[in-house]
Structure 1
Amino acid sequence: MIKAKYQSVLDLGEKLKIQNGDVKVEGNQLKVNGTANTQYEKNLIWDEIKKVGGESPTDITADIKVADTSVFHRHTVQSGESLSKIAKHYYKDPMKYNAIFKANTDILKNPDVIHPGQELIIPNL
């Protein structure tokens, strides 16, 4: 029953390819462990847990580690995107586009010119 309640969390973990994932039911509590690729992906898991269980759920414990702490995330540019649109997605603030630009000056020469297929580092702020 408890596992079914949090099925969307488990599905997201599979979609994100959480490493060393382990799920156990102990009594009325679900215990979830694993390693997310980036802090952004860990945040997505926690957002889904809170969406299902509320702000402070008592029927689930999660120990999610992060494999790559050097970046917040890695993003592949899609057609129609801009650095400000990407910054709004990851940081909820389009004006933080310059942080993404500065983290990618090895492949970007102008913050107004990005191309589909480029992999950008989304830095930790």
Structure 2
Amino acid sequence: MVRAKYQDVLDLGEKLNIKEGKVEEENGKLKVWGTASTQYEKNLLWDEIKRIGGENPTDIMADIKVEDESVYARHTVASGETLGKIAKQYYGEPGKYQKIFQANTDILKNPDLIHPGQELIIPNL
């Protein structure tokens, strides 16, 4: 019953390739463990848990670890993207594009010139 309620969380975990994932249902509670690649992916899982169960859900216990805490996320540039659009996706504010640019000066020389396929570091704020 509880597993069905949180199926979208489990599906997202599979989509994100959460490592060492484990799910158990016990006494009307869902217990979820695993390791996300980055903090951003962990946040996506928690946002989905809260969307389904509310701000402080009592029917799920999740222990999600982060494999790489040195970055917030890694992003592969898609056609039509700008650093502002990418900053809005990860930080909610396009103006923080400079943070992304500064973290990637080894591959970016101009914040207005990015190319599809480039792998960018999205730094922790």
TM-score (norm: length of structure 1): 0.99
SS state at 2:33 partner: strand
Shift in Å, 1:89: 0.6
Which residue does 2:52 correspond to in 1?
Answer: 52
- Output the CA distance in 1 between the equivalents of 2:110 and 2:11: 38
Shift in Å, 1:63: 0.3
Shift in Å, 1:53: 0.5
Which residue does 1:67 correspond to in 2?
Answer: 67
- Output the CA distance in 2 between the equivalents of 1:30 and 1:115: 42
Q: Does 1:27 align with 2:4?
A: no
TM-score (norm: length of structure 2): 0.99
Seq. identity, %: 73
**Equivalent residue letter for 2:33:** N
Which residue does 1:41 correspond to in 2?
Answer: 41
Shift in Å, 1:40: 0.2
Cα RMSD of the aligned pairs, angstroms, is 0.4
- Output the CA distance in 2 between the equivalents of 1:48 and 1:80: 27
Q: Does 1:110 align with 2:75?
A: no
Shift in Å, 1:117: 0.4
Shift in Å, 1:30: 0.3
Q: How many pairs does the alignment contain?
A: 125
Which residue does 2:99 correspond to in 1?
Answer: 99
**Equivalent residue letter for 2:116:** P
Q: Does 1:17 align with 2:17?
A: yes
- Output the CA distance in 1 between the equivalents of 2:108 and 2:37: 24
- Could you list the runs of 4 or more consecutive aligned residues of structure 1 that deviate by over 2 angstroms after TM superposition? none
Shift in Å, 1:34: 0.3
Which residue does 1:83 correspond to in 2?
Answer: 83
- Output the CA distance in 2 between the equivalents of 1:36 and 1:85: 23
CA deviations 1:46-84 (Å, max 9, x no partner) are: 000001101110000000000000000000000110001
